[in-house]
Each structure stands twice: as structure tokens, then as C-alpha cells.
Structure 1
Amino acid sequence: MVRARPDSPLLFDIVERPDFSFETAAKAEGLWPVAGMDEAGRGPLAGPVVAAAVVLDPANIPDGLDDSKRLSHAQREAVFETILGSALGVAMASVCAEGIDASDIRKASLEAMRRALCGLPVRPKLALADGRDVPPGLPCIGRALVKGDQRSQSIAAASIVAKVMRDRMMADCGKLHVHYGFEVHMGYATQRHRVAIKAHGPLKRLHRVSFAPFRLDSEETAEAETASLGY
């Protein structure tokens, strides 16, 4: 007999929180230290993609670790400081807008994670990467975890470090380029950002001119010029 599905809604949504189980299992396999890797800034129209690699101390795991997108600015800043003060190793790396344009955002993100891992002061035996891809060229075993920042505390720590560092970089860009509001939108395609680009144009070495809005504008301009010449 097939039991009918209840039509009453759940009283609450079950939110998955990261834990240390992947790292503990790896340690039992003899794969220790374990580093978590993640990036911030795949989607924006401007700025670098920033990655971080973190090796947590199993005896001193910070409270509040979670996917950086599920934390407020104040929460990220507080946990960031705790991570820096307690982790066995933390490293960051970035690929600039020109580097993104020269390849693509996926490759640039993986390269930033590889660089961050290579910059750790401790040599991991296993690297856990958020997403579906393992960065090529790692100096250790790599494993990809889909939604890793919501499952692994090491990846969650890396996501927080990457996000905080990128936000600070974009806030500094906002001080230099006051018309664009980078300190507010962090380079994402908000209405304010699009209006600023239309009024002042893209910034060399900061805007990702290979991204769709810039490509489409360029194609439309070329078509208009061609039409004006009667071709």
C-alpha cells in the first residue's frame, strides 16, 4: 500500500550546517593536514576573484563557521578574526580582471584556489574544494565537495576568509573610484553599478570586459558603426 504524502507544510526548514566529519574521516585515512578551499567573486562585473585555503586546528575550531553567504557582514568579520587567530594555516590568492578575461572565470577561480593552497605555511595531504571541480596542479590529493561550504567547516572557513578579503579589496577600490560605488555592491551588476558604467565607462584592469554586458555593448557599437558606413 502506498502511503499518501501529507499536504501539511513543514514547521521549519532543515538547514544543513558544516561540520568536521570529512576532515575527521580523512585523518583516519592518514590524510592530514586537511585544507579547505573556496573562492569569492565569480559573478561580479568588476574586481578579482579571491580564493582562500584554511587548515583548521581540530582542537580549536571557531564557533559560527558557515557558508559566508549565510552570514551577515558583522558575523563574517568576527569569525574571520577568529579563524586567523586559531587556524594552523591560512593563505589567500587572487586572479585579477585581466587574468579572468584572458581565460574564463571558472579557470581563474580554480587557479586562485591552487595559488592559495600553495601559499599555506603547512603542507596539506588533502585539499577539499568547494564545488564540482578540483583545481589542477595541486601539490596534494584534491577532492571536490558540492555545496562544500555548507558541509565542511574547513571549506566554510575558507569561504569566509575569501569573502572578507575580497570585500575589503573592493571597498578600497571604492575609495579610489568614487563614482562607481564598489564599497556598496562589491562589483556586482546592480542598477547603481550599471548606471555608473554607462556614465563613466568601464575601468581598465578592474572591469571584466569579457563578461556579457561589456561584450554585448561592444557588439552593438560595432553594428551601429557598420550600419553608419552603409555596409
Structure 2
Amino acid sequence: MLCGIDEAGRGPIAGPLVVAGVVIKNEIKGLNDSKVLSEKKREALFPEIIENSSYHIVFTDAKTIDEKGLSTCLKDSINEIMSKLKKEADEFLMDGNTSFGIQTLNHKIKADATVQEVSAASILAKVSRDKYMCEIAANYPLYNFHKHKGYGTKAHVELIKEHGRCDEHRHTFRLKALGEDIEVIKKGTQKSLF
């Protein structure tokens, strides 16, 4: 059995990284890359995937991403998923162009659009992360997390300019728009283009 793995939240400047692994047990119709599905369609598929698969979802908060770096957090999440689902799956496939140095992990670019298990993982990760960002929005009313979900939109960057970062923000993700030196990146975290 194949376990598909995908993430949501690699690029945002606030909120968690969410990685999901899915082993499909029964047929699920309408699966695709979460980015091409409407929010309504993703949310309708979410409980169907939960009901018809074995799955595991890993959240990594902004503070841990700042401390360990994004690549390490991704690798740790994938290893946790592989450990949790090893009885259900004998093959693991990650969307993207790297296996993060994990010997038994395969990878494929655009797997989230072409392999149903990875599509399902993409939906679980995206819906879980979006739900989290909407839930915390009330605790951080200055930032409108429910609107941009932590991504570096112009409106979000303007709010950071006005109020500074909160503890849901990734402090190692430098913002050019704030005059931060984008070369000063801690522990291999990616550069921000915003």
C-alpha cells in the first residue's frame, strides 16, 4: 500500500507547518491537488478522506520552525508519519523534488495532482492548517489570520509594519518590505521574497 505525503504552510510568514500522510482504504472520488480545488470542495472531501483512509497529521509551530529550520521540521514530520503508518504502508511518496535524505522515501514533482494518496494528503494538510489559522484569528485580532492564513500578502505585511510580529509569526522569515536583510537567515530557513 502507498502512503502519500504532502505539506501545507512551507511558505507562509505566520502559523504552523502542517504535513499529512494518507493511505487510502476505499475509493474517494474528486481528489486533486488542494490548490486547484475550491475551499468548499476541499472541506467536503476532508471527512471523506478521514473516513476512508489511515492518516496522520503533524503540526509544527512557528517557534520550532525558527529554532530548527524548515527543512529539519519537514524531515521530522515525514519521519513521524512514516513511523505511525508503517503497518499500513510499504511505500511512501512525498510531493516535490526531494526526499530530505530519508532513504525509504520516494518523491515526485506534481504528485499532489497525479497520485490520489498525495492529493488526499494535500487536502488534509491544507484544510487542517486553514482551520487552525481561522481558529486563532480571534486571539490575534490585529492580524486578520482568517483572511490570509499567514501568507505574506501585502495586507498582512502592512499589519506587521504597524503592529510588529506576534508569537505565531516566523521571526527567521525576513521581510524585504520591512527593510530586513534577507541574507540574514537562521539555520537554513528559506528566504522570503516579500
| TM beyond 0.5 | yes
Asked which structure has the greater RCO (Cα within 8 Å, sep 6+), the reply is: 2
CA distance in 2, matches of 1:184, 1:116: 29
Q: Secondary structure at the match of 1:199?
A: helix
Alpha-carbon contact 1:129-1:148 (below 8 Å) kept: yes
* Structure 1 residues 82 and 46: CA distance shift in structure 2, 3 A: same
Query: Which deviations, in whole Å up to 9, do the C-alpha atoms of 1:2-32 show, x marking residues without a partner?
Result: xxxxxxxxxxxxxxxxxxxxxxxxxxxxxxx
Q: Which residue of 2 aligns with 1:47?
A: 15
Q: Which residue of 1 aligns with 2:93?
A: 128
**Structure whose CA Rg is larger:** 1
**How high is the sequence identity, in percent, across the aligned residues?**
35
For structure 2, list consecutive stretches of 5 or more residues without a partner in the other structure: 183-194
For structure 1, list consecutive stretches of 5 or more residues without a partner in the other structure: 1-32, 221-231
Alpha-carbon contact 2:23-2:88 (below 8 Å) kept: no
Q: Secondary structure at the match of 1:68?
A: coil
TM-fit CA distance, 1:99? 1.8
Residue pairs, 1:26-41, within 5 angstroms: 33-41=1-9
Letter in 2 for 1:92: I
CA distance in 1, matches of 2:42, 2:121: 11
TM-score (norm 1): 0.73
What CA RMSD, in Å, does the superposition of the two structures yield over aligned residues?
A: 2.1
TM-fit CA distance, 1:118? 2.5
Structure 2 residue corresponding to 1:193, chosen from 144, 156, 167: 156
CA distance in 2, matches of 1:120, 1:214: 40
Alpha-carbon contact 1:49-1:112 (below 8 Å) kept: no
TM-fit CA distance, 1:93? 0.3
Give the aligned length: 182
TM-score (norm 2): 0.86
Structure 2 residue corresponding to 1:82, chosen from 41, 48, 63: 48
